[in-house]
Each structure stands twice: as C-alpha cells, then as structure tokens.
Amino acid sequence: MNARGSLFQAFVLHRRDYGNTSLLVEVFAAGRGRFPAIAKGARRARHPTSALLQPFQPLWLDAIGRGEILTLTRVEAAGPAIGLLGRPLLCGFYLNELLVRLLGRDDPHDPLFAFYHAALTGLASDEDLESLLRQFEIRLLDELGYAIALDVEADCDRPVVPDGAYVLVPGQGMLQAQADDRAERISGTTLLALAQGDRLAPHQLREARALLRRLLEPHLGGRPLKSRELFRRFAVASPPISGTGSAPCASRDSTHVEITNRSYES
C-alpha cells in the first residue's frame, strides 16, 4: 500500500451526525481495517472536511486516540471522488453495508481494501454490475474465512462439470443434486463462472444471486440489509430493461428516482 508520512489510505463506509457540529464516520483503511472515528467540527458551515468525508471518496487520513473511537486529525483527498449514480450507487451502498456488517473492528484486510477500491471503479464504469457484485461477495467471504469451493464437490473433491446440477448443503459445500433434493439447484456452468471470476450470462444471474445470498445470510445476524430495501424501491420506480430479468443492478437507467449519498446516512 502507498504511504504518505503518517497518513493512511481510507474510505468512509458510513457517516452520521454526532453532537452539534461533528460527524461520526465508519472508516475502512489500508493497514487498519474498519474503525469508527469522530471528525470534530465537520458539520460547521464551509468546513472543508465535510465535503471530503463522503462514501466513495478516496482519502488520506490520520487519527489519534486510545479508545474504540478515534479522532480524525487530518483529512485529504487521495484522488477524485468515484462518481456513482442510480443503480451503481445502490451497488456501492450494498458493498459498504456488507463491510460494515461483516468486518470486525481493527482487523486489517489490505487485499480486500484494494479489491474494494477496484470494485468501486468498476461500478463507476457501469460494466456488468451483477458479476462484479458476486465477485466482491465471494472475495469478502474468502477474506473472512467463510468461503467454500465452488469448482469441486464437497464430499469427494470431484471437479464440478458444466452440465451438472448441484445444491448447497450448509456446513459442507456444493454437492451433486439428487432426484429427491428439495434445495434450489445451481448449474455447473454458473458455479464454474463464479469460481473463475468470469462474466455471468443472463440466465446465470438469478442462480448466482440466490447462492451468494444463502452463503452470506448466516453471517449477517438475521437483520435485513438497508441497501436491499433501496434496491426494491429503485426497482419499483425504474423497472428493469427488457432482457435483464430481476437483477437489481442490471440497468443503466438512473433517471426515475433521485438517490444520493445522503439516502444512506442515518
């Protein structure tokens, strides 16, 4: 990771008002992981820090403190803000919420930090949003030690075959589907595409989304994700383009509802 004196690279995952003039921000930082910090006076009129302490803005930060919540002492832009609008913005909120919900405090994940930065850049280009989300989910589960093998059967290490059908067995992994299995099936082609980081074909999107949701749910504590509600609201206001199915991030259309970073503040 790049260094700049005592400063460290970071992104704000979430922010909310704190006291009369300050902000409480949830930070994801290189070399430090996730931690909360106070930006004193950041809500005062014309305070330059407030404009920088936004999601998707690459930052240089410095912070002090010995308790759980640090105090930011320096905030600088580390580059232009990553511009996200419409569905890409919702996808960015989703990535942030996953990190807030699943990352432990003060546990560095530098490879994941770099992958997150690259994912935001991919969202900004509006290219294959669904495939990008699935790859981020897989990378996050891997970083946290919750990943399963997607290209081999869990009970025998036999390679997954493209024309096979498989089911997810909790606590084990992917097994070849049997005639009496009631669990939702996923094709071998979809599993192999996910394992290899390939672009998902339209018919694979629903299978991949359902599988990753099942893999993530046990680690989310039973509380619904706010970003999924935003997806639903956006889908009602902006129906998917013909041929994209029900994929929440499949369309480029962002004109029907206004969604900004403030939509996700609390």
Single out the residue of 68, 65, 72 nearest to residue 12, CA to CA.
72
CA–CA gap between residue 149 and residue 172 (Å, rounded): 10
Is domain 8-77 annotated with CATH 2.40.50.140?
A: yes
Q: Which of 8-17, 33-42, 49-58, 175-184 has the lowest mean pLDDT?
A: 175-184
What sections of 77-187 are H helices per DSSP? 86-102, 110-124, 129-143
The pLDDT tens digits of the residues spanning 59-68 come to 999 999 988 9
Single out the residue of 6, 7, 26, 8 nearest to residue 16, CA to CA.
26
Amino acid letter at 22? Answer: S
Cα dist. 85→202, 233, 259 in Å?
Answer: 23, 15, 7
Angle at the Cα of 76 from the Cα atoms of 72 and 78, rounded to 5 degrees: 125
The pLDDT tens digits of the residues spanning 168-208 come to 998 899 999 998 888 889 999 999 999 999 999 999 999 99
pLDDT value at 119 more than 50: yes
How much is the pLDDT for 238?
A: 59
Q: What is the mean pLDDT of residues 120-133?
A: 92
Domain 86-143+205-241, CATH number (from 1.20.1440.120, 1.10.540.10, 1.10.357.10, 1.20.140.10): 1.20.1440.120
CA–CA gap between residue 74 and residue 86 (Å, rounded): 31
Domain boundaries, given as residue ranges, for the chain: 8-77, 86-143+205-241
3-state secondary structure of 80: coil
Confidence tier at 229 by pLDDT (50, 70, 90): confident
Give the neighbor-by-neighbor strand order of the sheet with 173-176: 173-176, 165-169, 185-187
Strand positions, DSSP E, the chain: 8-18, 22-29, 33-39, 59-64, 70-77, 165-169, 173-176, 185-187
Single out the residue of 74, 119, 28, 56 nearest to residue 262, CA to CA.
56
The whole-model pTM stands at 0.85
